[in-house]
Structure formats: C-alpha cells, structure tokens
Amino acid sequence: MIFSLLIAAIAGVPLIGVVLWWLLIKTEGVYLGRRTVIWLYDVYARRYDAIKQYDSFGEEIYLARPVLARLRDVRAPLVLDVATGTGRLPLALLQVPTFQGRILALDLSRRMLAVAAEKLAPFGNRVVLLHHAAESLPFPDDTFDLVTCLEALEFMMDPRCVLCELVRVLRPGGLLAITNRQGRDAKLMPGHTFPHARLERILRDDLRLTHVEIQAWQVDYRIVWAIKPGSSAPPGPLHLEDIWRCPRCGAVEMIPIEGGWRCLSCEARVPVGKDGVIEARNS
Ligand SMILES: C[S@@+](CC[C@H](N)C(=O)[O-])C[C@H]1O[C@@H](n2cnc3c(N)ncnc32)[C@H](O)[C@@H]1O
C-alpha cells in the first residue's frame, strides 16, 4: 500500500507539471477563466512584442495590404480591432500612408493597452484605445466598415458568442477579418478552436455572412475573411460620441468632459488614463 502511494506520488509530480504547463502556458489560462487569461497578458505585456517578433515589413505585406485591398472602395474606413493587444493591427494600418481611416481598438488587459498607447501615440486621435471586454461591445449594431479580431478568439471563454458580437457591430457590406488557430496547438484547446470547415459553416450558415474565405497565413493561424450581406453607406469619419454606448446604461449619449467622458442619460463618468486609454471597464 505504502509502496503504491510512493509510486503514485513520484509519478504525480511530472503529471502536475504537465497539467500546469498546459493550463498556464499552452492554453494561456483559458480553462481557468477570463481573469487568469487577462492576468497572464498583464504579466507578459512588456515582453509580448519581443516574444511575437512581428516585423513591420511582414505586417505590411501579410496584414495591412490584404486588409486595405479588400477595403479599397471605402475612402476613410471606420475600423474596430477587438483584442488589439499591443496595437498590432492599428499600427500596421496607420503606417500605410494611403490609409485614411480611424480605428477603435479594445482589449481587457490594461497593461497590453498601455504598451499599445505608447506605440500609437504618434498617430494622435486617429486611434482610440478602450479598456473593455470583447463579449459585449459598447457600440450599436451595423457600425463599422471593418471588424478584426486577430489571434485572440481562442482565448475567449465563448468564442462563438464573441463572433456574434463582432458581426453585430459590422455594417452591412462591411468586412470581418479574424484568425483561426490551426496545427497541433489548436488540438490542445478543445472548445476554443474550430476546425476550418466548421468555422466556415458557422460564418456562412449561422451568422449568414457571404464571401467566406479561409486562407493560409501563418504557421499557427489561418486568416478568415467574410462580408456581412446587404449594403449601407460607409459611416465616414464619425466622432466617438456618435457611436459609443455608455458602459453603464447603454445610451449613445456620451460627451467628452475634463479627464474623461460623461453619459447624459445616466450621469456615469468614464475616466481617461494619462496614456489616453478610455477606462470603460472601471465605470
Ligand atoms: C495573443 S493576443 C493578440 C493581440 C493582437 N490582436 C495581436 O494579434 O497581436 C490576445 C489578446 O486578447 C486579449 N483578450 C483575451 N480575452 C479578452 C476578452 N474577453 N476581451 C478583450 N480582450 C481579450 C488579451 O488581453 C490579449 O491582448
């Protein structure tokens, strides 16, 4: 009996190590809940860019140019980047001289946003950073010309619900660009990644999107494009107050005040951090 317990204890140590590696490193905390995911991104925020090693040439060729080619009919697109992290997509677009649009970028990790704010400071008010969750986007239906969510859906508690949110705020005729994890690591995240064919069916049959294309992109990800059917005029250069819903009551009646924003409907105040990030999560 004692011998069996001893063997079990010795065998258990590496097993615990493997389980912790899977829970915290491989799947980045997603099976431990949203707080753990965000905590890990907060911890790694300053090292994230060095780990990812994106280079501006590759980001232009494989990300910014393909996006802009698909948006060529929209003169100044209004873009929403969900789970922007350290501002990868805004930076790639804003560095292209012909891009004339405005970008709203949100994330739930405040420290990732702090890094994004430093990198995006030269672009002034062409990009607005919002500390907010992807699960309930604070914007009306049918708003954005382009909605993106790159390398992030698999870290959401319910990726399918987030997909619905992304599509909800996309305007008819607007473009969705997301990534789908693939390869061995995708298989280690059951319930959080989709086989490509299944994702295609969800986008086409459940969410009623058209022109769904799933293309080779990076080793671990494919890029997925889709269009929301219908057409509506591009919203043009909107101001944030025209589209931003109060995080407390949902009214689109936010006005800028000293040091932040105020809702005319419920009087909620939303502060803006020293780095310009709107602290919508704390209100
Ligand atoms: C792998 S990073 C991707 C960042 C960026 N899109 C990129 O391609 O470099 C995943 C990001 O998703 C964010 N995230 C995870 N869950 C979130 C949620 N529920 N709401 C908003 N952001 C979330 C994390 O904070 C992190 O910044």
d(CA 67, CA 194): 22
Average pLDDT estimate for 51-68: 95
What would the pLDDT profile of 152-178 be if each residue is shown by its tens digit?
999 999 999 999 999 999 999 999 999
Calculate how far, in angstroms, residue 154's C-alpha sits from the geometric centre of ligand 1. Answer: 9
Q: Is the CB of 37 under 6 A from ligand 1?
A: yes
Confidence of residue 226 (pLDDT cuts 50, 70, 90): very high
CA atoms within 13 A on the CB side of 278: 28
Q: Is the CB of 38 under 6 A from ligand 1?
A: yes
- The dihedral region occupied by 116, where left means phi > 0, alpha psi between -120 and 50, and beta the remainder, is alpha
Predicted confidence at residue 76, as pLDDT, reads 92
Predicted confidence at residue 10, as pLDDT, reads 64
Indicate if the alpha-carbon torsion angle 97, 103, 109, 111 is positive or negative.
positive
Return the ligand 1 atom nearest residue 81 CA: 6
Predicted confidence at residue 4, as pLDDT, reads 59
φ and ψ of 57, to 5 deg: -65, -50
d(CA 268, CA 254): 9
Calculate how far, in angstroms, residue 13's C-alpha sits from the geometric centre of ligand 1. Answer: 32
d(CA 42, CA 87): 14
% of residues, the chain, pLDDT over 90: 83
Predicted confidence at residue 236, as pLDDT, reads 64
Is the pLDDT reported for residue 97 higher than 70? yes
- DSSP bridge partners of 175: 146, 227
Closest CA to 115 of 135, 97, 99, 129: 129
Spell out a b/e string for 172-204, using b for 16 or more CB atoms within 10 Å of the CB, else e. ebbbbbbbbbbeeebeebeebbbeeeebbebbe
- Please name the residue that has the structure tokens 């994330």: 107
Strand order through the sheet with 102-107: 127-131, 102-107, 78-82, 144-149, 170-181, 221-227, 210-216
Pocket test for ligand 1, best of 35, 155, 178 (most atoms within 8 A of CB): 155
Pocket test for ligand 1, best of 107, 150, 222 (most atoms within 8 A of CB): 107
Confidence of residue 21 (pLDDT cuts 50, 70, 90): confident
- Angle formed at CA 25 by CA 191 and CA 166, multiple of 5 degrees: 45
d(CA 174, CA 231): 8
Average pLDDT estimate for 120-131: 96
